[in-house]
Amino acid sequence: MRRRVGVEEEFLLVDPRSGRARRNGPTVAAAGGEQTELQRQQVETGTAPHADLADVLADLSAHRKATAALAEDDGSRLLALATHPMPTEPVVTPGERYQELVDRYGLLAREQLTCGCHVHVEVPDRDEAAAVLDRIRPWTPVLLAVSTNSPFWQGQDTGYASYRAQVWDRWPTAGPTELFGDAAGYDAAAARLLATGVPLDAGQLYFDARISATHPTIEVRVPDVCLHVGDALLLAALVRALVETAAREAADGRPPAQVSVAELRAASWRASHDGLGGDLVCPRSGRPAPAADVVGTLLDHVGAVLRENGDEDLVADGLAELSRRGTGAAWQRATAAALGPSGMVTRAAELTLRSP
């Protein structure tokens, strides 16, 4: 039986003429019954859980179009870029929680204008969920590389394919995690981190992948928001296959790879820097290899589950399309060079709503 999967997406709101960020996120969120985000220039949407990826795609597309319509009613356009390419002054959304973040983390919180994509996969048993987390951790940098969509920061080309990942990893609770073993190990690790007094609460455990505190799911949080809705669907298929593959490995008694947090951070940095345009760290060898080869290794790893889920062709087609047109980061650089930043934003807003 296929596990249900859902996707959360964070978006920017921009002026339709200048392309600069607008501060009407709370208004748009309230109109659509959506959750506000840390900065006023953002809005977030989320799908329901679905077993059929066709339903996930329909839900993703409907949310993008509905939220874009609400944004347009309030004088904005919806933008699926993980950072804004122009100079932008983030403005924190009013609210006690957001103010607490600013009070504690200062400039780190005030600068945090980034948009991610979070994939939830159904794993109701928490011991199984912890075992899955232990086994997917070497593969999360590959997911980041596939999604990279944030080369610009404050009007500058950063040299990274995902600068969002670099900004996000400033949070002291963000990034890869140690091995947990089981639910008790996960809870003990979370309790030790909370005992330091650094995070505000359990909601601020910003692990690359975590057991959701509110849903019976594993939540994979490493990807950038994707410019193309088809890439978000591709991520959903890959994450679900990774989770099911890991669950079967755990049930068969196969131990997780003994990869250190330091090694995982290095692999994530490489993925953030190069995307699919250079080398990635291979999860099996721990050595650099061409990105296409590492993606091929991922497909070998999850291939049996993709076939059983009926997702093999969808993933193959999605990766072929990604190879043809490049990642969001590659597209942003090429389009900004041709049209300028504002022209690129205008085109990106159109692609945000394009069907795959």
Contacts of 219 (CB under 8 A, 6+ apart): 118, 119, 120, 209, 210, 211, 212
Q: Give how many domains the chain has, as a whole number.
A: 1
Q: How far apart are the first and last CA of the chain?
A: 26
What does pTM read for this prediction?
0.97
Give pLDDT tens digits for 289-337.
999 999 999 999 999 999 999 999 999 999 999 999 999 999 999 999 9
Q: What does the DSSP 8-state code read for residue 204?
A: G
Residues 86, 156: Cα–Cα separation, whole Å: 8
Residues 157, 164: Cα–Cα separation, whole Å: 12
> By residue range, what is the domain housing residue 209?
5-352
Q: What is the model's pLDDT at position 35?
A: 81
For the domain that residue 282 is a member of, what is the CATH number?
Answer: 3.30.590.20
Residues 275, 273: Cα–Cα separation, whole Å: 6
Q: What does the DSSP 8-state code read for residue 202?
A: G
Give pLDDT tens digits for 139-162.
999 999 999 999 999 999 999 999
Mean pLDDT per 10-residue segment, the chain (356 residues): 96 96 96 92 97 98 97 97 97 96 97 98 98 98 98 98 98 98 98 97 96 95 98 98 98 97 98 98 97 98 98 97 96 98 97 94
Give pLDDT tens digits for 41-56.
999 999 999 999 999 9
